[in-house]
Structure 1
């Protein structure tokens, strides 16, 4: 015989998880996050292929120019969203999920800081001599 109460409580737990995990972004934002990078890459590829726009494409891709700045902005946005998600899930979900999201969030912070050279270009401070000797770039 099937325990209907157990089945009902399982459905309630599932629906509670859906509330927590539910759509964090609206469908239109989700589509934009999928199609925007693809469109951006297609435009950059077209700019790169045609000789008349090659110099402009190269300028866009240079260090401290629009593509690198946009990359750091997106990485910092992902970091902020990751922190928000950790706070939201820490009370409801297990250590594994929160640990994975924490690791990913840390990587996004690291990527964002690396893209802006850890603030060196923004705040105009030189690389310490110790790091110049160790830097392989």
Structure 2
């Protein structure tokens, strides 16, 4: 509506380089990255654009983004829920949380990790390899 914004988008394939904590990156200043703390971020593939009044930008699901206003700005956001309704969290009005199955899987993975860490290393490695085989079947 008013003002300009600089937008940097990172595709989902760059997640490993973004130092993700929850739904955000620990590296908050991507214009002046602390490469000692975040060395992988320097190699992350990114797309840059500048939004002007009247422009529209669609950010696909799972794409990380950083937005900086160059001056005073007012924008309108519209959150697009593209998955079947039953995959969203009940109170997720905008569809910007992880889908319910992904959130449940993340919780289960945390528990699996805790349990496997109770085992001696050779056992832990054996069961990790079995888990990798099962995950690879998902393709």
Structure with greater proportional helix content: 1
Structure with greater proportional strand content: 2
**TM bucket normalised to smaller:** under 0.3
Larger radius of gyration: 1
Q: TM-score, normalised by structure 2?
A: 0.27
